[in-house]
Amino acid sequence: MPGILERERIIAPAGFNRWLVPPAALAIHLSIGMAYGFSVFWLPLSHAIGITEPAPGDWKISTLGWMFTLFFVFLGSSAALFGHWLERAGPRKAGVVAACCWGGGFFVSALGVAVHQIWLLWLGSGVIGGCGLGLGYISPVSTLIKWFPDKRGLATGMAIMGFGGGAMIGSPLADILMKHYATPSSVGVWETFVTLGAIYFVAMMCGAFGYRLPPDNWRPAGWNPPAPAQQRGMITSRHVHVYGVFRIPQFWLLFVVLWMNVSAGIGVIGMASPMLQEVFGGKLIHVPAALKELGTSERAQVATIGAGFAALLSLFNIAGRIFWASLSDYIGRKATYYVFFLLGFVLYCAVPFAGRTGSVPLFVGLFCVILTMYGGGFATIPAYIADLFGTRYVGAIHGRILLAWSAAGILGPVLVNYLREYQVSRGVPVAQAYNTTMYLLAGLLVVGMIANALVKPVAPERFMTDAELASERRPAGAR
């Protein structure tokens, strides 16, 4: 079995069709993308003992919500820690480990639900599953960039698009399964965890065994790298070693670029639906009243519209991943991030104006475009990394930069939630409490734009020599 997983065993033969690799990457990213849809379990789990309503001993939704923090902390940390191992071991072995962690995490969580121990949920899906998230996230990106040197943005967009869309498949499936398994004595969650764990394990194993790597120095038929004088976007044909990347200023600049873009985006995602409801209130259902003045049934209608708005944003998040990443192949990564920050600054500042004018279509449109750039930032950063540092360790370097995602998962929500609470406590009307927040998030984009402007080509002495590269390409254990 170990021989089947070795990196040397998955080098593709001559004439292999590279378009067979994206479906394998998609199988893994669609599976781990269910991390975005875990909130579908919170309400049933909040009355897992009471069944029909919460009872003493049931978990609070705020307690269950810690799962999201664990997901993204362990995604970033495991990607950073095991990224170099991935490049040495190969994507198939990494994909198998990711499948065991992600699928196995569901099984451990199922046990936690069955015995009603919250720490088993945190350990299963949060810690073990989070490690599967990290390896599952970077292995397809690293593989596709090597297969598509001529279309790096398209390649990363194809992979990361699946992560954004995983919840759109997984959440409805989980809802159907919970209703199927529900009984007078069970809300059906642990059974759903077992089923999903098995489904995702099989899908990710299929993806892992579908991986192939191109031979060293492989190029697509008919394509030649542009000469240095013709290259755009600071594209290098050399390689930086992952162990030396922390000493390179460009790494930290890209870290800030991703951190600011994602912090602003997460801040928007976290408040978009409640902001829509609180700013427009009864106007969403043609009732001239504030949200707090509506009746129970009217509030339910507004909440339904808010949920639909969140689903719409998910679609634009997914579309932005493939659109912006593909566009970056033509205008360059640096220019693409300039668009994110400049256009984003204008749109964030325009949201309070849309609220004051009472224009729901304008408000929704602004958020939809903003979400495309949030998703596009995730999809474009791996190609930016490959342009600057080369493709040999793109997965490992990408894993380290994903620590910015973990940091953004703390910064964005904290800024939004605490600033809103502070303003409301000082007497600011709820409908206006988000205005300052949007301006603050726009300020984060200015910081990211400055970091992007400072990105320059990596100095020649930072790259590996030919001898060092040959040594790194030697199979493990060979002399």
**pLDDT at residue 1, as a whole number:** 47
- pLDDT above 70 coverage of the chain, percent: 95
Which position has the higher pLDDT, 431 or 386?
Answer: 386
Give 423-461 pLDDT, tens digit per residue: 778 877 766 777 888 898 999 999 999 999 999 999 989
Q: Do 134 and 244 fall into the same domain?
A: no
Domain that holds residue 302: 229-479
Q: What is the mean pLDDT of the chain?
A: 86
Q: Which of 144-158, 330-344, 400-414 has the highest mean pLDDT?
A: 330-344
Domain-embedded: residue 223:
no
Q: How confident is the model at residue 53 (pLDDT cuts 50, 70, 90)?
A: confident
Q: How confident is the model at residue 415 (pLDDT cuts 50, 70, 90)?
A: confident
Provide the CATH number for the domain around residue 140. 1.20.1250.20
Q: The pTM is what? A: 0.82
The average pLDDT across 6-18 equals: 89
257: pLDDT strictly greater than 90: yes
Which of 217, 239, 259 is the last residue before a domain boundary? Answer: 217
**pLDDT at residue 216, as a whole number:** 82
Q: Vertex 383, ends 400 and 225: CA angle to 5°? A: 130
Q: Do 238 and 192 fall into the same domain?
A: no
Q: Do 292 and 152 fall into the same domain?
A: no
Q: Do 243 and 329 fall into the same domain?
A: yes
- Give backbone dihedrals phi and psi of 149, rounded to 5 degrees, phi first: -65, -20
Q: Do 336 and 429 fall into the same domain?
A: yes
475: pLDDT strictly greater than 70: no
Inter-residue contact 265 to 373 (CB < 8 Å): yes
DSSP string, 13-24: PTT--GGGHHHH
- Worst-scoring range by mean pLDDT, 169-178, 268-277, 308-317? 268-277
Which position has the higher pLDDT, 261 or 160?
Answer: 261
The average pLDDT across 231-239 equals: 72
Question: Cα separation of 195 and 193, whole Å?
Answer: 5
Structural Rg of the chain based on CA atoms: 23
Q: How many domains does the chain have?
A: 2
Which position has the higher pLDDT, 247 or 224?
Answer: 247
Inter-residue contact 404 to 258 (CB < 8 Å): yes
Q: Do 12 and 149 fall into the same domain?
A: yes
Q: Do 52 and 191 fall into the same domain?
A: yes
175: pLDDT strictly greater than 90: no
Q: Do 191 and 237 fall into the same domain?
A: no
Q: Do 265 and 315 fall into the same domain?
A: yes
Question: Cα separation of 260 and 14, whole Å?
Answer: 43
Q: Do 248 and 150 fall into the same domain?
A: no
